[in-house]
């Protein structure tokens, strides 16, 4: 429909024509709108019918696909496996992954029934939790492990806030060392790390997960009525009010240890670690009773808490009847114990870190060692030690291969009373007041010069060199004389000493002014060298380069032979807060040594060179 021409200026006739045209146009618009609405309604009906038909077809396809899946599952070769073989596979999985039972039981109904009929795969409790999580996870684990299966228990309780935990993890990872520290299993623990998450059931925190690392989530304490009769997944803590969470945290220890101590007769290994004091810590007092299967026992705290003497197993009186016939490994760190407790007898491995308020006389520490003639590994750390009440006598420990002493300077007197004929590893983080080389030399002489392969002095994570006083002579006066007595040494880690004398002694014998005749390489089998907070003068970097040049010649060559002895090449070098090396020296070190770890003392930032720069 063509529009009429509007003449300017408008006249009465043209205005009448425009009104008639407007009316006709409006009628046409209404007619077209009616037709469009009718067409759209017809199309919508067609779409609805088509969508319904498609939905019906999709439903039929889903049903057929489910049938296909069920049929394929029925035809799966694993269905032909006898239950005995499937049981063996479950057991193999359990050997490599202690928490695999939770995953295996979640695959299908038949696997769940089989998993619940194998108590042994529930016998290793590996739980990383907080006091805000439910303790029912422990109850479920214990129930599924049966009534007679020996229990291997490791529970790590994270009490510190998330920020504190991250800082703790950062500190633990910042200065890794091949050397075993005073507290081997605890100093390297980083809550929430890949290692922990991969092998432990991680209790859900009261909020979203802080890490994207795959973890095994324990059952939720809120529901026990899922389709399999087990707790449903997910965390109910987020839905609980704050006062309910507070009540859980107040009673977590009492509930958890009620379940655990009930099964104490089945304990074969018990490890409980926590990072700081927690509200229900008094529940540890319930650890009392007979444990005829117990081989290893540990209760450790990172924080040096101040406890009274609890009436628990390590505090038992010497006349108490303690049934621990198989106990061979004991670790107590920052937890109370009595030096005369029957629990501290007949051990092979002993690891004690005393409370700051604990001040034992030296003769009582020696008494602890004398009650364990079969000891193989000893680690003692005491910040407070009193002089001996009774005279100290020499004590021979014929099986000790590893000795670690740390803390008060009077512990050097304890070291002077020991005879260790098969000693292999010696770790000393003692607050010595004088040079310590004479003490080590006397130990070697008394012990008929055992082939020590690992020596560490003032190198522990807690042994900040600034807290140690070694007098004007330094940590060791003559490194040449000391290292000459350690020809079998493979690992040497030192903290808080002067850098130049040590590097000179380890370098080419011709460059050592202390070797006037009968030149010989110091520690010809040395493979790992670690230095922490070792102060250097102007020639420190030069001495380091000269030592590496002598032991690790260019192009993987062999060092110069002296009197028929050629030293091994260094495989690892650790330098923590010693001296600024410079990028060129670091690149040169990397070309000579396969593994170099360096922390700049100024920036306190780690630069690790392993197959390239990071």
Per residue in 330-389, pLDDT tens?
A: 999 999 999 999 999 999 999 999 988 888 999 999 999 999 999 999 999 999 899 999
Q: Are 157 and 130 in contact (CB under 8 A)?
A: yes
Q: Is the residue at 102 inside a domain?
A: yes
pLDDT average, residue stretch 505-521:
81
Q: Is the residue at 375 inside a domain?
A: no
CA atoms within 13 A on the CB side of 108: 7
- Pairing mode, strands 329-333 and 384-386: unpaired
Instruction: Give the pLDDT of residue 445.
Output: 94
Q: How many CB atoms lie within 10 A of CB 440?
A: 21
- 597 and 496 in a single domain? The answer is yes
- Three-state DSSP at 489 gives coil
- The H or E element that residue 272 is part of is strand 267-274
Instruction: Give the pLDDT of residue 216.
Output: 55
CA atoms within 13 A on the CB side of 280: 20
Domains contained in the chain, number? 3
pLDDT average, residue stretch 178-195:
39
- 43 and 98 in a single domain? The answer is no
Q: What is the DSSP letter of 455?
A: E
Residue 606 has pLDDT above 60, yes or no: no
- 497 and 525 in a single domain? The answer is yes
- Which residue(s) pair with 575 in the sheet? 531, 598
Q: What is the DSSP string of 86-115?
A: HHHHHHHHHHH-TTHHHHHTTT-HHHHHHH
Instruction: Give the pLDDT of residue 3.
Output: 55
Q: Which residues contact 222 (CB under 8 A, 6 or more apart)?
A: 231, 232, 236, 239
- Pairing mode, strands 491-495 and 606-609: unpaired
**In whole angstroms, what is the distance from residue 519 CA to residue 73 CA?**
75
| Listed residue (247, 203, 225, 199) closest to 98, CA to CA | 199
Phi, psi at residue 405, to the nearest 5°? Answer: -125, 135
Q: What is the DSSP letter of 410?
A: T
Instruction: Give the pLDDT of residue 255.
Output: 93
| Listed residue (386, 384, 347, 353) closest to 368, CA to CA | 347
Q: Is the residue at 479 inside a domain?
A: yes
- 71 and 102 in a single domain? The answer is no
| Listed residue (553, 602, 554, 594) closest to 574, CA to CA | 594
Residue 215 has pLDDT above 90, yes or no: no
- Three-state DSSP at 164 gives helix
The two most distant CA atoms of the chain are separated, in Å, by: 137
Q: Are 447 and 489 in contact (CB under 8 A)?
A: no
Counts for the chain of helices (H) and strands (E), in that order = 16, 20
**In whole angstroms, what is the distance from residue 34 CA to residue 500 CA?**
100
Q: Which domain holds residue 515?
A: 453-614
Segment 279-326, tens digit of pLDDT = 888 899 999 989 999 999 999 998 887 677 778 999 988 888 889 999
Instruction: Give the pLDDT of residue 291.
Output: 94
- The H or E element that residue 42 is part of is helix 12-75
- 541 and 586 in a single domain? The answer is yes
Q: Is the residue at 304 inside a domain?
A: no
- 489 and 519 in a single domain? The answer is yes
Helix axes 83-96, 109-116, angle to 10 degrees: 70
- 20 and 92 in a single domain? The answer is no
- 493 and 581 in a single domain? The answer is yes
Whole-number average pLDDT of the chain? 82
Q: For 543-612, what is the HEC assignment?
A: HHHHHHHHHCCHHHCCCCCECCECCCCCCEEEEECCCCCCHHHHHHHHHHCCEEEEECCCCCCEEEECCC
- Three-state DSSP at 266 gives helix
**In whole angstroms, what is the distance from residue 508 CA to residue 154 CA?**
49
- 104 and 42 in a single domain? The answer is no
Can you give the pTM of this predicted structure?
Answer: 0.78
- 469 and 538 in a single domain? The answer is yes
Segment 112-155, tens digit of pLDDT = 999 999 999 999 999 999 988 888 999 999 999 999 999 999 99
- The H or E element that residue 403 is part of is strand 402-407
Q: How many CB atoms lie within 10 A of CB 2?
A: 5
Cα 366 from chain centre: 32
Please list, residue by residue across 342-354, b when 16 or more beta carbons sit within 10 angstroms of its beta carbon and e when fewer do.
Answer: bbbbbbbbbbbbb
Phi, psi at residue 76, to the nearest 5°? Answer: -60, 140
Instruction: Give the pLDDT of residue 246.
Output: 63
Q: Is the residue at 80 inside a domain?
A: no
Phi, psi at residue 558, to the nearest 5°? Answer: -100, 150
- H helices of 416-509, in order, are 437-446, 479-484, 499-506
Q: Are 426 and 401 in contact (CB under 8 A)?
A: no
First-to-final CA distance of the chain: 78
Q: Is the residue at 367 inside a domain?
A: no
Q: Is the residue at 570 inside a domain?
A: yes
| Listed residue (377, 383, 369) closest to 429, CA to CA | 383
Quick one: what percent of the chain has pLDDT higher than 70? Answer: 80
- 99 and 62 in a single domain? The answer is no
Q: How many residues belong to the chain?
A: 614
| Listed residue (430, 86, 422, 133) closest to 253, CA to CA | 133
Instruction: Give the pLDDT of residue 103.
Output: 93
Q: pLDDT tier at 218 (50, 70, 90 boundaries)?
A: low
Q: Are 584 and 595 in contact (CB under 8 A)?
A: no
Q: What value does the CA radius of gyration of the chain take, rounded to a whole number of Å? A: 36
Cα angle 491, 493, 497 (rounded to 5 degrees) comes to 145
Helix then strand then coil, % of the chain, to nearest 5: 40, 15, 45
- 467 and 562 in a single domain? The answer is yes
Segment 476-488, tens digit of pLDDT = 888 888 999 999 9
Q: Is the residue at 556 inside a domain?
A: yes
């Amino acid at each position: 429909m063509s529009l009429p021409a509007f003449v300017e200026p408008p006249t009465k006739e043209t205005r009448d024509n425009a009104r008639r045209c407007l009316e006709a146009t409006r009628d046409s618009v209404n007619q077209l709108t009616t037709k469009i609405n009718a067409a759209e309604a017809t199309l919508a009906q067609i779409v609805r019918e088509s969508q319904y038909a498609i939905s019906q077809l999709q439903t039929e396809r889903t049903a057929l696909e489910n049938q296909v899946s069920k049929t394929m599952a029925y035809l799966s070769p694993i269905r032909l496996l006898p239950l005995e073989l499937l049981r063996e596979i479950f057991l193999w999985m359990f050997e490599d992954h202690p928490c695999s039972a939770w995953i295996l039981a979640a695959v299908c109904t038949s696997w769940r029934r089989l998993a619940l009929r194998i108590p042994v795969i529930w016998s290793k409790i590996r739980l990383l939790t907080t006091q805000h999580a439910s303790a029912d996870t422990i109850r479920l684990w214990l129930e599924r492990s049966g009534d007679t299966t020996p229990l291997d228990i490791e529970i790590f309780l994270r009490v510190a806030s998330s920020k504190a935990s991250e800082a703790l993890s950062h500190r633990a990872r910042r200065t890794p060392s091949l050397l075993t520290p005073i507290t081997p299993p605890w100093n390297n623990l980083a809550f929430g790390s890949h290692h922990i998450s991969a092998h432990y059931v991680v209790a859900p925190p009261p909020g979203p997960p802080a890490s994207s690392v795959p973890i095994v989530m324990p059952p939720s304490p809120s529901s026990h009525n899922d389709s399999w009769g087990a707790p449903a997944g997910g965390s109910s803590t987020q839905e609980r009010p704050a006062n309910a969470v507070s009540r859980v945290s107040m009673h977590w220890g009492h509930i958890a240890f009620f379940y655990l101590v009930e099964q104490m007769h089945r304990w074969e290994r018990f490890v409980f670690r926590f990072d700081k004091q927690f509200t229900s810590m008094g529940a540890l007092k319930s650890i009392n009773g007979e444990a005829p299967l117990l081989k290893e026992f540990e209760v450790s705290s990172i924080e040096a808490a101040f406890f009274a003497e609890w009436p628990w197993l390590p505090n038992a009186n010497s006349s108490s009847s303690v049934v621990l016939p198989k106990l061979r490994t004991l670790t107590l760190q920052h937890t109370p114990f009595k030096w005369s407790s029957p629990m501290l007898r007949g051990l092979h491995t002993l690891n004690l870190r005393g409370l700051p308020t604990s001040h034992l006389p030296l003769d009582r520490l020696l008494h602890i060692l004398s009650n364990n003639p079969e000891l193989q590994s000893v680690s003692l750390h005491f910040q407070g030690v009193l002089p001996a009440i009774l005279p100290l006598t020499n004590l021979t420990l014929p099986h000790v291969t590893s000795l670690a002493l740390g803390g008060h300077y009077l512990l050097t007197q304890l070291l002077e009373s020991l005879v260790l004929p098969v000693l292999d590893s010696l770790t000393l983080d003692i607050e010595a007041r004088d040079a310590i080389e004479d003490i080590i030399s006397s130990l070697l002489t008394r012990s008929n010069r055992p082939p020590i392969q690992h020596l560490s002095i003032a190198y522990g994570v807690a042994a900040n060199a600034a807290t140690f006083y070694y007098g004007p002579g330094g940590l060791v006066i003559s490194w040449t004389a000391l290292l000459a007595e350690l020809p079998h040494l493979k690992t040497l880690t030192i903290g808080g000493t002067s850098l130049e004398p040590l590097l000179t002694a380890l370098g080419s014998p011709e460059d050592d002014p202390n070797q006037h005749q009968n030149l010989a390489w110091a520690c010809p089998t040395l493979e790992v060298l670690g230095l922490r907070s070792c102060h250097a003068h102007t020639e420190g970097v030069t001495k380091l380069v000269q030592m590496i040049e002598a032991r690790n010649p260019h192009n993987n060559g062999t060092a110069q032979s002296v009197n028929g002895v050629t030293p091994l090449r260094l495989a690892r070098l650790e330098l923590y807060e010693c001296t600024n090396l410079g990028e060129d020296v670091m690149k040169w070190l990397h070309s000579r040594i396969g593994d170099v770890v360096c922390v700049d003392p100024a920036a306190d930032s780690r630069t690790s060179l392993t197959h390239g720069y990071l």
